[in-house]
Amino acid sequence: MSQRTSARRPENGQDSLDLVLRDRPIDEKNGVNASLGFTFQQWWAALSIAELLGSGDDFAVGVEVKEDIAILDSAQSPTKVEFCQVKKHERDGVWVLKDLHKKGSKRKDGTHENSILAKLYARRQEFGASRANLRFVSNIGVKLPNEAGADSLTTNTDLSTLTTEQQKLVKAAVSTQLGIPEEDIDLAGVLVHKTNLPLGEPEIFVSGKLEQLSSTGQLPFQLSHTSVAARVLASEVQSRASSTTYARSFEDLKLRIISKSQALNILASVAQSRAPLSQILEEATAELDREGHPFIERKDIKAQRVRVCADASDRTNMIFIGVASALQLARIPIEAAIGAKATLGELMNEVVEEARVSSPAEFNGLPLAYIRAVALLVLSDAIDLTVFTAPAGPEPKEDE
């Protein structure tokens, strides 16, 4: 063994965890998922990151690191890992204990694939029970036998809490499939877990978790657009999962790992960015709906949404910048006078009325609903007036 490898062995003689986590030729590779959308496993990884951010402890989440998901206690010098196998089930139903430990499909050579639990337990053989926990995750529940022998639905159960008889069944199956002594199998830290993450619209669930973290002060910043943040986080997970380069070292493997600090940076970038104008305008009109603003006015404003967002995106549109600037100037005294007690609809109408009186030329020929829609963007601080520039005009003629 090389001197470098020997130096990384702890006193118990095991290789350090980061050394063992690197890719091996015998590792099973499923390849990059060809789906255009995010997979259930990737959404569950995003959810796990959000949940871990609420714990306060250091962590790192790896995708396609030995198993679907690997949760480490550090991205720099990990000492413990939890390997998670994530299975989605498209139809209603439940798992039973036998489903988890029965041998799999038959191979061409007459042997059988290992069971779900045997495949997971092989990781514990490789890494040691003291530093590798295991978790089977599914969107449907698992029925496990209780003390009376009757099956009961469980959401998060350590298999070491099963009856001695039921543990013996699991150990016997894993022993046979992996070829290890039954007495060497330790089920403590082997969990079966039902996730509440839904198959449909998982981004809403993850968004809700991020909203909880933000509203309870568990993030070092306010996260206003949690639905955007959820998708950005899942996108980063998907990007990491697509890194199939053979990792000869832990440094190489970090391409598939998101650390706690990286997760916070990802969310901070969303917190510091503005939401799309269409979303801001949609949220503003939704607020008008909640206020009971006149229906026809709301309908007309919504009809102008596409035109307003297109004009706001054109930085040379001087008609739009004239309207937005006039509304911004009118906004300042109006908010000072009635801002604290006015609804959004009242502010919008007051600002529009004041601006049209103060700068009538800016609004000639424009529909009132268009002006109101721009006012909603101005009141939402969605327009950066400094980025608009006048179009280039003809060069002035030199004096003769």
Tell me the pLDDT tens digit for each residue of 275-309.
778 888 999 999 999 999 999 999 999 999 999 99
> Long-range contacts: 103-108, Cβ < 8 Å, 24+?
103/173, 103/177
Residue 207 is predicted with a pLDDT of 94
Q: How many whole angstroms separate alpha carbon 82 and alpha carbon 384?
A: 46
CA atoms within 13 A on the CB side of 324: 26
Q: For residue 2, what pLDDT is reported?
A: 35
- Classified as helix, coil or strand, 399 is coil
What are the average pLDDT values for consecutive 10-residue runs of the chain, which has 400 residues? Answer: 38 69 71 60 96 93 92 93 92 86 86 92 90 94 77 86 91 94 94 93 94 93 88 92 85 92 93 80 92 94 93 87 94 86 92 95 95 94 68 44
pTM of the complete model beyond 0.95 = no
d(CA 316, CA 323): 13
Cα-based distances in Å from 23 to 20, 134, 135: 8, 19, 21
CB 140 within 8 A of CB 87: no
- Are the CB atoms for 298 and 287 separated by under 8 Å? no
The whole-angstrom separation of Cα 5 and Cα 248 is 13
The pLDDT, as a whole number, for residue 204 is 92
The residue assigned the tokens 């100037």 is 329
